[in-house]
Amino acid sequence: MHDIANFTALELWERMHSREISSEEATRALLDRAERLDDHGAFVTLTAELALERARALDNADDRTALLHGIPTADKDLQLRAGVPTGFGSRAFAGFVPPESDALTRQLDASGIVSIGKTATPEFGFSGYTSSLATGHTTIPGRSELGAGGSSGGAAAAVAAGLVPFAPGSDAGGSVRIPAAACGLVGLKPSRGRIPAASGLGSIGQLAVAGSIARTVADAALLLDGMIPRQHGSTVHRTTLRSPELDDGSLLASAVRGDRPRARIAVLTGPTPWEDFCPTPIGAEAKAAVETAVRELTAAGHEIEEIEMPHLAGYADEFVTLWHFNAASLPVSAEQFELLEPLTQTFIESGKRITADRVVNAQRRFVEFEQTVLAAFAPFDAVVTPTTALTPRPVGWHGEDPQENFRRQCQYTPHTSFVNVTGLPALSLPVHALDDGLTMSVQLIGRPGDEAGLLALGRQLERRIPWRERIESGFQQ
């Protein structure tokens, strides 16, 4: 009897291709775990019948060359899957069933995944924690008093509980990295434009991209590879935003080899980009995580320096402007508006008061912020920050008042959103174990398009810090 929950996605892939395990067997086992053990709100919907039908079809297929052939995972409840209820974490969309799948879902299907259901998200993914009036609280497996982070909290909780080996998420201000850190997992946010189906290029501010959450660096790379379409071995480019040369290699290969030569790495110091908006002190546990990462990166032979965060005057005002303006574009009727949560209502009402001139100016300032950060980071192969400034937050800690709620979100994760503004890739890694069984993570920020370099550095840290064993030791049976 296979202990499928303990297999990584890559290990499952190897056993499926050797016909040792079928996709149906793996899917059935993980559905059973999810039905028995999801007492922490990871899933909002399980689609057992559809998943098993899909798994059987893949097992019987003559062509088994798709990169993720037969591996079970789950869709975030912001993704559209034809015929499957999609609620966006909102009471206003209860019962909505999309007639068509979105581009990311279609790409993941083309890569061979089996979706076993929908993972929880806060309303429209607007917060860095996963609680909603529609679906309740999503918590860290085994720690019902602590939130799983957000907005991809359901995806992270599902991976941390061994309900799926990896899961896709979306990240507009930290929504992959924050829950990965809270749940002690690996979270990979790619460069803007790297994932054609969820590139970030189609929205004001260009913030939101797809990303991956997994227990290992290799699994995070494997899932991201599956999000990138290829023809004749090369990436399919849909924009001319960046040079194609870095695209055509396997990210999985970089993650497995981990053979990054001596790198020049900076530790980010000084005030965070949100300091003018509210105090953002860095907790002792977050500082300890950075110290752990620096110690191990130094031992691996890398050069470590310090760099102060460049001052981005007006950052908070411009970010809030575009965040609220995007919220105002949500297709909600007057009746639906009344069903929305106070935080979402506040964002929408604020966004509707923003003028076109104000939006254009904020967009221009975003470009200036990006240029300032890229110039400051240019000498370095990677920049290290804490992923979160504080330990995982208790359920309800953010509060109900919209203004205080947003301030607390900024205080918890002051280093994540500027990475979206600049379009840089980032990798969150659970490097530091706390005495209470929780972990603290660091964020490695890379050069534009250099996910491969980040994954190689992440793999080097993973060899020195056995976080996979730490995660799996907490699995329920």
Three-class secondary structure assignment of 297-324: HHHCCCEEEEEECCCCCCHHHHHHHHHH
Query: Minimal CA–CA distance to 139: which of 467, 402, 397, 443?
Result: 397
Edge-first strand order for the sheet with 114-119 is 43-46, 114-119, 72-76
CB 168 within 8 A of CB 198: no
Distance from chain centroid for Cα 313: 27
pLDDT at site 240: 54
pLDDT at site 172: 98
pLDDT at site 250: 86
Which residue among the candidates 175, 199, 428, 441 is catalytic per the annotation? 175
User: What does DSSP assign to residue 394?
Assistant: B
Pairing of strands 72-76, 114-119: parallel
Distance CA 353, CA 299 (A): 53
pLDDT at site 473: 83
pLDDT in tens, 402-411: 999 999 999 9
Contacts of 307 (CB under 8 A, 6+ apart): 266, 267, 268, 269, 376, 377, 380, 383
Name residues of the chain where pLDDT drops below 50. none
Query: Is 203 a known active-site residue?
Result: no
Pairing of strands 209-214, 166-171: antiparallel
Query: Minimal CA–CA distance to 136: which of 384, 396, 366?
Result: 396
Place of tokens 């509210």: 278
Place of tokens 């966006």: 88
Pairing of strands 439-446, 382-386: antiparallel
Could you tell me if residue 341 is left (phi over 0), alpha (psi between -120 and 50 degrees) or otherwise beta?
Answer: beta
Strand residue runs (E) in 281-406: 303-308, 382-386
Which residue among the candidates 23, 76, 132, 441 is catalytic per the annotation? 76
Contacts of 364 (CB under 8 A, 6+ apart): none
Distance CA 32, CA 429 (A): 29
Query: Is 175 a known active-site residue?
Result: yes
Query: Is 189 a known active-site residue?
Result: no
Contacts of 398 (CB under 8 A, 6+ apart): 127, 129, 404, 405, 408, 409
Phi and psi at 421, nearest 5°, equal: -60, -40
**The residue type at 156:** A
Using N-to-C axis directions, what is the helix angle for 284-299 and 451-464, rounded to 10°? 90
Distance CA 459, CA 424 (A): 19
Which long-range contacts (C-beta less than 8 Å, at least 24 apart) are formed by 235-240? 236/196, 237/196, 238/196, 238/199, 239/193, 239/196, 239/199, 239/201
Q: How far are the Cα atoms of 314, 421, 432 from residue 365, in angstroms, in the given order?
A: 9, 10, 36
pLDDT at site 242: 57
Helix (H, G, I), strand (E, B), or coil: what is residue 416?
A: coil
pLDDT at site 2: 75
Which residue among the candidates 101, 111, 131, 151 is catalytic per the annotation? 151
CB 244 within 8 A of CB 231: no
Pairing of strands 43-46, 114-119: antiparallel
